[in-house]
Amino acid sequence: MRLNHSNNKDKRKDAKKMKRVILFVSVILVLILVSGFAAHKFSLNVKTVQAIDSAQNKDSKENTQDKEETNSSVDKESDTNVENAAYLEKYIEQQVKGQKPTGADGKKVAYLTFDDGPSETVTPQILDILKSENVNATFFLIGKYVDKNDESKNLVKREIAEGNSIGIHSYSHDYNYLFPNGKINLENCMSDFEKTDKTLKNVLGQDFSTRAIRFPGGQITWAKKDPQGADAVDKALHEKDWHQIDWNALSGDAEAGHKNAAALTEEAIKTIGNREKAVILMHDTYGKEETAKALPGIIEYLKKQGYEFKIIK
């Protein structure tokens, strides 16, 4: 009886051990299956996220590229009639020195420029002609004439609204103040330019800016008389990203003696010659009605000679 009891006890122990082994193995298998499923699901999620990110990045790059191409296209289209003031300053400087300008590219460009405005008499005529001829010009303004009255201010607004550009031609245009004893007064010149800049901002808004400066009498004139003074003022202007724009052709409407429209046109054609870049000096101040009369003929000549027209900024 004892022997049978002992055998039965051993069998029960073995059965319990087997159950524990089976349970342990089952748990391990379950864990393996669960971890495998989780890993598979994680892998699928990662691949899905990567696919989504890849598609989004592709769309983003395509959108960015489209925007860049669009912006580039707009910039090119909007800048086709605009010339960089710094480039033109250097071009004229090199040309005056008898050097071949570094910007020479074989393209014929005309820059119509008008000094000493605005005037209530001549400026409207000039603007009407430019509009009818579908060309634009650069107006170098005298600050005190801008401040003269509301009509003058409205003319400045019209110049910009119709696609023209504006440069600074001092506030006072007073040679005794700007160039006492034939020398450039740096402080007075810069003060005059800055005063005109503030005047233009008051009329056109604080966002308005111009980089084009023209000395009364032209920078070339004063550089010959006062080289050191010219160098000093050039440095001061460049620190503000302002650039002096002289000319290499003119109608002669500011020279001594009255000239009619025909004579002004003839002089302009003569001085334009075969220039690749022609910066043409004219005036739209009071008493320059003959300049307005000459302008259509000058524009017609330039068009026939294959010139394109640009403004200066």
Q: Is 286 left (phi over 0), alpha (psi -120 to 50) or beta?
A: beta
> Are 197 and 294 in a shared domain?
yes
Helix 289-304 to helix 123-133 angle (10° resolution) is 20
Of 78, 105, 137, the one marking the end of a domain is: 78
Of the candidates 196, 119, 200, the one whose C-alpha atom is nearest the C-alpha of residue 155 is: 119
Q: Are residues 146 and 230 in the same domain?
A: yes
How far apart CA 177 and CA 144 sit, in angstroms, is 14
Q: What is the pTM of this model?
A: 0.75
Give how many domains the chain has, as a whole number: 2
CB 193 within 8 A of CB 169: no
Rg (CA), the chain: 39
Which of these three, 58, 78, 98, is where a domain ends?
A: 78
Exposure of 4 in the CB half-sphere (CA atoms within 13 A): 1
- Per-residue pLDDT reduced to its tens digit, 102-126: 888 999 999 999 999 999 999 999 9
What does the DSSP 8-state code read for residue 99? P
Structure confidence by residue, pLDDT tens digits, 155-195: 999 999 999 999 999 999 999 999 999 999 999 999 999 99
* pLDDT score at 251: 98
One domain for residues 72 and 202? no
3 and 122, same domain (yes or no): no
pLDDT at 103: 82
Same domain assignment for residues 151 and 182: yes
- The CATH number of residue 185's host domain is 3.20.20.370
- pLDDT above 90: percentage of residues in the chain: 68
Residues 246 and 117 in one domain: yes
Longest alpha-carbon distance in the chain: 153
User: How much is the pLDDT for 226?
Assistant: 95
Asked whether residue 66 falls in the same domain as residue 134, the answer is no
Write down the pLDDT at residue 80.
85
For residue 101, give the DSSP letter: P
Range of the domain at 18: 1-78
CA angle (92, 209, 285) in 5-degree steps: 65
Q: At what angle do helices 261-272 and 289-304 cross, to 10 degrees?
A: 40
- Do the Cβ atoms of 283 and 253 come closer than 8 Å? yes
CB-side neighbour CA atoms (13 Å) of 278? 28
CB 110 within 8 A of CB 308: yes
| 110 and 226 together in one domain | yes
| CA count, 13 A, side-chain hemisphere, 117 | 37
Low-confidence ranges of the chain (pLDDT < 70): 1-79
Torsion over CA: 131, 137, 138, 140 (sign): negative
Structure tokens at 251: 């109608």
Domain end among 49, 78, 107: 78
Tell me: do 10 and 99 sit in the same domain.
no
Rounded distance between C-alpha atoms, residue 292 and residue 283, angstroms: 9
Asked if residue 106 and residue 71 are part of one domain, the reply reads: no
Q: Are residues 11 and 86 in the same domain?
A: no
On whether both 94 and 39 belong to a single domain, the answer is no
Q: The dihedral of CA 147, 148, 150, 152: what is its sign?
A: negative
